[in-house]
Amino acid sequence: MLKRHTPGWVYAGGLLLTAVAGCVNAVAVASAYHAVTHMTGTVFAVGFEFSRGQTGVALRAAAVVASFFVGAALSGFIVKQSSLHAGRRYGVALMIEGVVLGGAWLGLARQSVAGEVLAAVACGLQNALATSYSGAIVRTTHMTGVITDLGIAIGHLAARQPVEWFRVRLHLVLLFGFTSGGALGALAYPSLGPTTLLFPAVAVFFAGLVYAVQRNLHRRAPAPLP
């Protein structure tokens, strides 16, 4: 399937959310030494640290995994969709994510495990917001699938097979957003510390508010005359 037109809001939303995730992950790694946007390494750490007798570290990693799961479940409860469509309850979910990131800032500022846990909840919620768009898997908190799909596209191009260019464009936007957000978070952290989290928290809350207001106005707009 070759999609010739992808709405601008898909690119804009993907860029914003991946930048938010990159920034959050940079702060979490700098503050608590645990990635919170992707779970592969953290799940591995649970078993690895238990096997080494580091029960406290393993339990902390397990708490992060469980929190990411809770965030994804919360997103599923709110949005109730597995595909990306305008008009769903994304605004509410994004505002909740902003509030949760604000709580993560307070926790990390106090060097509490609650900060790490809440950051994972926010990332799980965000990652579950949009799971697919027109057959393309959309993940905004980790880049494994993005890199994989870009590699597949290059392989298809080399083999002179059809390439779904809309996927390539979308995944390049996601990759750029995550990389840029991580870089900005890393640059800001030495000066601002956990307060850096306020930037993605405010950004995602404001985006959710604007989205919710726009969708509400759209629903109330009078239908065109026949």
**Which residues does 10 contact at the CB level (< 8 Å), separation at least 6?**
84, 133, 170
Q: Give me the pLDDT at residue 207, please.
A: 92
pLDDT at 68: 95
Report the C-alpha gap between 82 and 129 in whole angstroms.
8
218 has a pLDDT exceeding 70: no
In the DSSP assignment, the letter for residue 195 is: G
Q: What domains, with CATH codes, occur in the chain?
A: 20-216 (1.20.1250)
Spatial separation of the C-alpha atoms in residues 138 and 136, rounded to whole Å: 6
Distance from C-alpha of 185 to C-alpha of 87, rounded to nearest angstrom: 31
Residue 2 has pLDDT above 70, yes or no: no
| For range 84-88, the mean pLDDT | 58
Ramachandran angles phi, psi of 47, nearest 5°: -70, -40
H helices within 130-143, ranges in order? none
pLDDT above 90 coverage of the chain, percent:
57
- Structural contact between residues 9 and 86, judged by C-beta atoms closer than 8 angstroms: yes
What pLDDT does 185 receive?
96
Asked if the model's pLDDT at residue 225 lies above 90, the reply is no
The b-or-e profile of 113-130 (16+ CB within 10 A means b, else e) is bbbbbbbbbbbbbbbbbb
Note the pLDDT tens digit of each residue in 130-172: 665 545 567 888 898 899 989 999 999 999 898 888 889 989 9
pLDDT for 135: 53
Who contacts 8 (Cβ-Cβ below 8 Å, separation ≥6)? none
In this predicted structure, which of 2-6, 101-105, 115-119, 212-216 has the lowest mean pLDDT?
Answer: 2-6
Q: How many CB atoms lie within 10 A of CB 157?
A: 13
Residues 36-76: tens digit of each pLDDT: 998 998 999 999 999 999 999 899 999 999 999 999 999 88
